[in-house]
């Protein structure tokens, strides 16, 4: 699933490539992709996109102040610019056709369709936008703000970082990278963090996300991206490989159907964390 860094680079690519181009066609090719009926897709025709924003894991494509497309690419969605006469494939979910014979296509491979597209008068009309927490790269995300967000909560760190109602845009991959950089256990409860540890978590959150954006931007070269490898990460999906800091093999645990990757030495005082898969077989 694309997370904040991938979507931020995608936003930059869209901004440079589709703004100001009048929309000639707006059509859903998968019946379930469009989650709204009013305004209709036809309301986009004749209007150009004037601004592209990102909010959490959503892209917001605006046609002025009164009409917005809110797009969540979910697990396998991606965006492709194609010539209008290119064949529409089974993977094509939605097409925005421009008046210069080029399309922006929402593509989703596989048989399960999860991509969500809303056409609304205000982005906050979409519940998943209205409920989002703080943006971790915004000026509002300070150590003090993070302290307040975590205060009095009995929740594990990995779950807190990936809770979109708390902090917007971070998924499982970058949560693992942030916690590794901050040298904090993913299962530690936020209520146990000392002020210095919260400062470190805040600093590494911004640093990891900023570095990822720079790395992905360099690989994209201005093109729209989707499904690119995160070969710059240090622990995510690195099970068994040596920790870049201490050489200990990276370990993994599974909880709530998601894997977490960590260094036992750097993050959990040399202890291997109990794996949910082991508990379930006992």
What pLDDT, in 10s, does the model give residues 42-82?
999 999 999 999 999 999 999 999 999 999 999 999 999 99
Tokens of 102: 């080029």
> pLDDT for 86-99, tens place per residue?
999 999 999 999 99
Where on the phi/psi map is residue 56: left (φ > 0), alpha (ψ -120 to 50), or beta? left
- Number of independent structural domains in the chain: 2
The answer to whether the Cα torsion of 188, 204, 224, 50 is positive or negative is positive
pLDDT of residue 276: 61
Residue 225 has pLDDT above 70, yes or no: no
Provide the CATH number for the domain around residue 254: 1.10.8.50
User: Taking 90 as the threshold, does the pLDDT of residue 281 lie above it?
Assistant: no
Confidence class for position 1, pLDDT limits 50, 70, 90: confident
Is it the case that residue 221 has pLDDT exceeding 90? no
Give me the domain span that covers residue 32. 4-130
- Is pLDDT above 60 for 238? yes
Proportion of the chain above pLDDT 70, given as a percent: 95
Supply the pLDDT for residue 227. 52
Distance from C-alpha of 113 to C-alpha of 124, rounded to nearest angstrom: 24
Distance of alpha carbon 146 from alpha carbon 193, whole angstroms? 11
> Which pTM value belongs to this model?
0.94
Statement: residue 279 has pLDDT above 60: no
Q: Which two tokens mark 167? A: 């902090």
CB 25 within 8 A of CB 97: yes
**pLDDT (mean) for 272-277:** 76
Q: Please indicate, yes or no, if residue 185 is contained in any of the structural domains.
A: yes
CA dihedral (160, 166, 172, 176) positive or negative: negative
* Cβ-based neighbours of 233, under 8 Å, separated by 6 or more: 173, 176, 177
pLDDT value at residue 112: 87
- The reply to whether 135 falls in a domain is no
For residue 280, name the pLDDT band (cuts at 50, 70, 90).
very low
119 and 148 together in one domain: no
C-beta of residue 90 within 8 angstroms of C-beta of residue 97 = no
Closest among 16, 220, 14, 25 to 103, alpha carbons compared: 25
> What is the H or E stretch that residue 19 is in?
none
Is residue 154, in this structure, part of any structural domain at all?
A: yes
- Contact by Cβ (8 Å): 217, 9: yes
Place of tokens 């936008």: 129
Mean pLDDT, the chain, integer: 93
pLDDT of residue 256: 64
Adjacent-strand bridge partners of 60: 53, 70
pLDDT at 226: 55
pLDDT digit string (tens) for 27-51? 999 989 999 999 999 999 999 999 9
Same domain? 55 vs 153? no
Look at the block and give the residue holding tokens 């900023």.
210
- Identify the residue whose tokens are 């909560």: 153
Structure confidence at residue 277 (pLDDT): 53
Domain stop point among 130, 151, 174: 130
Domain boundary among 78, 101, 130: 130
Same domain? For 120 and 162 the reply is: no
- Same domain, residue pair 119 and 155: no
On whether residue 136 sits in a domain, the answer given is: no
pLDDT score of 240 more than 60: yes
DSSP codes, 122-150: SGGGSHHHHT--B-TTSTT--HHHHHHHH
Six token digits for residue 187: 């299962």
Which of 52-66, 90-104, 213-227, 268-282 has the lowest average pLDDT?
Answer: 268-282
On whether both 119 and 161 belong to a single domain, the answer is: no
Q: Which of 108, 130, 152 is the last residue of a domain?
A: 130
Q: What is the pLDDT of residue 278?
A: 46
Residue 114 has a pLDDT of 95
Question: Which CATH number does the domain housing residue 78 bear?
Answer: 3.20.190.10
pLDDT score at 128: 97
Report whether pLDDT(153) > 90. no
pLDDT band at 211 (very low <50, low <70, confident <90, very high): very high
């Amino acid at each position: 699933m694309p997370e904040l860094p991938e979507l931020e680079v995608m936003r930059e690519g869209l901004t440079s490539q589709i703004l100001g181009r009048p929309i000639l066609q707006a059509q859903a090719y998968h019946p379930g992709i469009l989650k709204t009926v009013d305004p209709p897709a036809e309301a986009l025709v004749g209007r150009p996109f004037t601004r592209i924003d990102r909010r959490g894991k959503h892209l917001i494509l605006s046609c002025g102040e009164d009409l917005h497309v809110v797009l969540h690419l979910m697990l396998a969605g991606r965006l492709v610019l194609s010539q209008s006469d290119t064949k529409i494939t089974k993977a094509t979910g939605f097409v925005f056709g421009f008046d210069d014979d080029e399309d922006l296509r929402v593509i989703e491979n596989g048989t399960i369709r999860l991509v969500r597209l809303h056409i609304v008068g205000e982005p906050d009309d979409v519940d998943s936008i209205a409920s989002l927490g703080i943006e971790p790269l915004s000026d509002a995300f300070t150590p003090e703000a993070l302290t307040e967000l975590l205060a009095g909560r009995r929740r594990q760190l990995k779950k807190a970082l990936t809770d979109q109602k708390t902090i917007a845009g971070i998924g499982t991959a970058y949560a693992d990278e942030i916690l590794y950089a901050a040298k904090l256990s993913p299962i530690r409860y936020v209520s146990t963090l000392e002020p210095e540890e919260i400062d470190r978590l805040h600093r590494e959150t911004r640093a990891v996300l900023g570095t990822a954006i720079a790395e992905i931007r360099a690989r994209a070269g201005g093109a729209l991206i989707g499904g690119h490898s995160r070969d710059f990460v240090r622990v995510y999906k690195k099970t068994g490989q040596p920790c870049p800091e201490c050489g200990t093999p990276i370990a993994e645990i599974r909880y709530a159907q998601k894997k977490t990757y960590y260094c036992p030495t750097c993050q959990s005082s040399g202890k291997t964390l109990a794996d949910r898969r082991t508990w379930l077989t006992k």
